[in-house]
Amino acid sequence: MSNRLDGKTAVVVGGASGFGLATSQRFAAEGAHVVIVQRRSELAAEVAASLNGSSAECDITDFDQINEVTAQIVADRGSIDIGVNYAGFERSTPIAELTPELLEPMVQVQLIGAIWFIRAVGNAMSESGGGSIISTSSLTAQNPGRGLTAYASSKAGLEYATQIAALEYGEKLVRVNCISAHLIETPMTAQHFKNKLGIEAIRNNTPLGFMGHVDDIANAALFLASDESRYISGETLRVDGGAFTQKLPTVHDYQILAQARPDLLE
């Protein structure tokens, strides 16, 4: 490791599992003090201790709570240099079956909560000389798929909010970027990877021909957090093996693949 983040304080929302855990570990290895922010405080504290970091319990959809937690981190650490948000969940539901109970929580976490995080951390960084904010989007924000209205629309909105935030916070030397991820195996997506046919169809529609790993996301986050990306702001960095150039698999694709590879149905 090259200590690219030596002496920096990095706040990672959802930093105790999946993309967040890989990023927290990578940041710590590069010299950062990692503050893991999560609703599950016990898990956050356990992972933070393993990294010689710290933790805080927070629901980013709670406006007052995210501001209080941010202020406490600044009080404890002096400043926040890096803020990364991995909070999110996905529940596929066709538009015809959407209800307020299904739509609103997803929008709250992945768009409204994400904006509250950018606001809280961006305001803190504005007072301390700048920093880097990184949000997480999805390939589905650009490649439409059935049942993804709530999830993908929120992510598409977040990508646009990232551009506006970069414009508004730029004069304070706060950079705001986004990572657009392909389907990668994490605790949140593990169920999808039990479907061998579906994963093979997705792999076939990915130009590089293989599925990514959480370390690919962590590496992208490290680049955007470090001074190596000092002149990059308002961007959405795709980490998807080139899959944005293709469509998401359809039922027709699954049927064709099932005929050619019946072993995938076992």
When pLDDT is averaged across residues 39-53 and rounded to a whole number, the result is 95
Complete domains list, the chain, with CATH: 9-188+209-246 (3.40.50.720)
Give yes or no: 160 in active site: no
What is the gyration radius of the CA atoms in the chain, in angstroms? Answer: 19
In the set 151, 160, 169, 254, the catalytic residue is 151
- Would you say residue 255 has pLDDT above 90? no
Residue 187, pLDDT score: 84
pLDDT digits (tens, 9 = 90+) for 153-195: 999 999 999 999 999 999 999 999 999 999 999 988 888 888 8
Residue 81 is classified by DSSP as: -
When pLDDT is averaged across residues 192-210 and rounded to a whole number, the result is 89
pTM score, two decimals? 0.94
- Would you say residue 35 has pLDDT above 70? yes
C-alpha–C-alpha distance, residues 5 and 9, integer Å: 8
Residues 242-264 as b/e (b if ≥16 CB within 10 A, e otherwise) read ebeebebbeeebbeebeeeeeeb
Residue 264, pLDDT score: 75
What is the average pLDDT score of the chain? 94
Residue 4, pLDDT score: 94
When pLDDT is averaged across residues 196-210 and rounded to a whole number, the result is 91
- Asked whether 161 and 115 are in contact (CB, 8 A), the reply is yes
The label of the residue with tokens 């570990």 reads: 25
pLDDT digits (tens, 9 = 90+) for 107-137: 999 999 999 999 999 999 999 999 999 999 9
pLDDT category, 1, cuts 50, 70, 90? Answer: low
pLDDT category, 262, cuts 50, 70, 90? Answer: confident
Judged by average pLDDT, the poorest of 75-84, 91-100, 192-201 is 192-201
Residue 168, pLDDT score: 98
Residue 259, pLDDT score: 79
When pLDDT is averaged across residues 212-229 and rounded to a whole number, the result is 97
- Would you say residue 150 has pLDDT above 90? yes
Residue 108 is classified by DSSP as: I
